[in-house]
Structure 1
Amino acid sequence: MTSDRAFFASRRVWAYLQLLRPPNIITALADVLAGLAVAGASLSLSGGTSPVGPLGITALLVATVGLYGGGVVFNDVFDAPLDADERPERPIPSGSASRSGAALFGGLFLAGGIGAAAGLSITSAIVAILVAAGAVLYDAYAKHHTVLGPVTMGLCRGGNLLLGVSAVPSLLLPNLPLLLFPLAFVGAITSISQGEVHGGSRRTGWLAVTLIGLVLAGLLALGSRPGVSLLHTAPFLLLLGVQVLPPFVRAAHTPAPELIQNAVEAGVVALIPLNAALAAGFGGWLYGVLVLALLPVSFGLSRLFDVT
């Protein structure tokens, strides 16, 4: 009897870990690290010194784990009726996790993320609240809309980047245009992902490829900004293009579910090279390498957990 209880307990723990999609959470850490690089470089240009120490950085990293983890859990909570038909192996429809338990689990993560951000500053708390609200809006409503879905999810990832920038609150508004990078990149992933179950359309696929191209071009253009080094960005930019363009082009040419799922997985993990390129441009190539070091961690976890 004891061994049976231990088995079911471990099975339930595994189910809730699946709901969190750990490979994706690693990419959220990269968002915040890139935002911290932006804040540090911008502050250095003005001759200031960062008031944020290791505890503040840790608070932001904990915050993004809570926000992203809670957001992906609520994705399964709202999708439970649909997953019962299309993906019955997922934790909630399979019975490994309850819908109410998952909702409580996701709510605790979101609350913890907001609380951790609030421990740093009111500005960080406001950013965290907006990201949490955007995640729930996406899960409950926006994801089912062709335009609103990609825009909402892109803004959530952009908010994650700005969460890192909020380490220095006065630098938040001047760096607001950086939202465009995750907005376009995640917009591409979200657009193409709409066909991952039944197949998509070439039109949507090529739109996603175009958005990826705009992100790459924008990162090149960012090298002309004071304090940003194109020389440091270039290697990471090349890696980003090599990692994400081939699977997206294949999925656009032949929008079959399997190819689309491959493109989505590549795109989600490629958020780390995207952030590494930003981090290297603002903080130097060593900082970019630090962010890129999250890539094998995310890849390794993607062998154990779904990313979609």
Structure 2
Amino acid sequence: MATESAAKERTEAATPATSTPSTAVRILAHLRLMRPANIVTAVADILAGFAICGGAAGLIALGAEATTSPLFSSLFWLCLSTIGLYGGGIVFNDVFDADLDRQERPERAIPCGQASVASAATLASILLAVGIGAAFMVSLLSGAIAVIVASLAVMYDVLGKHRSLFGPINMGLCRGGNLLLGASAVPSSLADVWPLGLVPVVYIAAVTTVSRGEVHGGNRNALSGGALLYLVVLATLVTLAAMVPTGGHAAPFALLLAWLIIPPLARAWKTLEPRLVGKAVKAGVLSLIVLNSTLASIFAGWQYGIAVLALLPLSLWLARTFAVT
């Protein structure tokens, strides 16, 4: 008995004690779950949609009185809405992936014990509720779009990500809905501008297709498919710039977008290394801001496009601290 007791004591001494994470660590972990750098890209969706519907041009025309305009109030609520919707959707992603992440990504907040499934699910639910509530502050139409976006996000987390064809489309529809949420600031415009919601659908379908090889390594068919979809988006932007009177200054934005997304994808295609595939995915996600700034410049002028593009340094800075994928 004495020998067994001594052996037990040695074993316990050699095993690190499991400590409960501090409050600060838990708060930071839940913030990590929200992917702050990605949320900035969602705000850019709203700003681009706001340009497409004519809201940005309306505010610019008001000059110093813009901040007292109902349009400005709508823009504020819609930005708050997308923060809640995107944050809630991405946190639920980790909630439903908890078991898989324990094997493939043990560094994430839930597998490493800094957040629990219950606490993360609570946070996600609160964020989605805030996102939907903020949209209803603008209009019933905005609220309805927010409900659809929230439903699509949860659908992706539960079902879509596991479907090779439906998954990319599902995720793209979330972004397309987010763009139209921004455009809902001027409800009467949606009947004319809704087809532009397909641009982020195709773009995100490309990013999601590329991301299939992020953990175990890419395959050239998926990467080639992503490249083809990127080219469709770039061609659409060039066509829009040629058709819209204010689109003449969009070329630098479109060129910047191509420069940011194509080279990382080419490097991933060459080696198929998971690390390089991850970098290609990260470039695609963060370049959503450049996509949105291109759309914004087409419909509201280059100055507004620059204002949207100014979100990119913030997103890149946050990406240095918080994971993007």
Which letter does structure 1 place at the counterpart of 2:44?
Answer: A
- The answer to whether residue 292 in structure 2 is matched with residue 275 in structure 1 is yes
Q: What is the Cα deviation at residue 43 of structure 1?
A: 8.3
Structure 1 Cα separation of the partners of residues 103 and 211 of structure 2: 18
Q: Deviations over 1:40-65 (max 9, x none)?
A: 17987xxxxx9733221100000000
Distance 1:302 1:128, change over 3 A: same
Distance 1:268 1:42, change over 3 A: closer
- The answer to whether residue 247 in structure 2 is matched with residue 233 in structure 1 is no
Q: Which runs of 5+ in 1 are unaligned?
A: 45-49
TM-score for both structures, normalised by structure 2: 0.89
- The answer to whether residue 302 in structure 2 is matched with residue 285 in structure 1 is yes
Match of 1:30 in 2: 44
Runs of 4+ in structure 1 over 3 Å off: 41-44
Contact 1:41 / 1:227 at 8 angstroms: preserved in 2? no
The root-mean-square deviation of aligned C-alpha atoms, in Å, is 1.8
- The answer to whether residue 210 in structure 2 is matched with residue 196 in structure 1 is no
Structure 2 Cα separation of the partners of residues 90 and 6 of structure 1: 16
Which letter does structure 2 place at the counterpart of 1:251?
Answer: A
Query: Where do residues 1-308 of structure 1 align in structure 2 (5 Å cutoff)?
Result: 8-40=22-54, 52-229=70-247, 231-308=248-325
Which protein is bigger by CA-based radius of gyration? 2
Q: How many residues align?
A: 299
Q: Deviations over 1:3-34 (max 9, x none)?
A: xx997000000100000000000000000000
Which letter does structure 1 place at the counterpart of 2:29?
Answer: A
Structure 1 Cα separation of the partners of residues 53 and 197 of structure 2: 14
Q: What is the Cα deviation at residue 128 of structure 1?
A: 0.4
Q: Percent identity?
A: 49
Contact 2:92 / 2:121 at 8 angstroms: preserved in 1? yes
Structure 2 Cα separation of the partners of residues 256 and 188 of structure 1: 18
Structure 1 Cα separation of the partners of residues 315 and 137 of structure 2: 27
SS of aligned partner of 1:224 = helix
Structure 2 Cα separation of the partners of residues 227 and 91 of structure 1: 48
Distance 1:227 1:6, change over 3 A: farther
SS of aligned partner of 2:188 = helix
Structure 2 Cα separation of the partners of residues 276 and 67 of structure 1: 21
Which letter does structure 1 place at the counterpart of 2:36?
Answer: P
Q: Which runs of 5+ in 2 are unaligned?
A: 1-18, 59-65
Q: What is the Cα deviation at residue 223 of structure 1?
A: 1.9
